[in-house]
Amino acid sequence: MQRTQLADRIMGEAEKERRQERDAWEEQKREIQSRLDATMEMYRSLALQHKALRQSTTKLATQMKDLYVENANLMSVLQQTEAKQIAAQRKNRKLQRQCQAWHDTVHRMLHKKQDALGQTW
Which residue from 79, 116, 61, 32 is spatially nearest to 24, judged by alpha carbons? 32
Number of domains in the chain: 1
pLDDT in tens, 14-32: 999 999 999 999 999 999 9
Domain-located, residue 98 = no
Number of helices and strands in the chain (H, E): 1, 0
Say if 105 falls within a structural domain. Answer: no
Q: Does 12 map to a domain?
A: yes
Asked if the structure places residue 111 within a domain, the reply is no
| Domain span at 21 | 1-87
What is the tens place of the pLDDT at every residue in 51-70? 999 999 999 999 999 999 99
**Domain assignment of residue 57, yes or no:** yes
Q: Which of 58, 56, 60, 80 is nearest to 68 (CA)?
A: 60
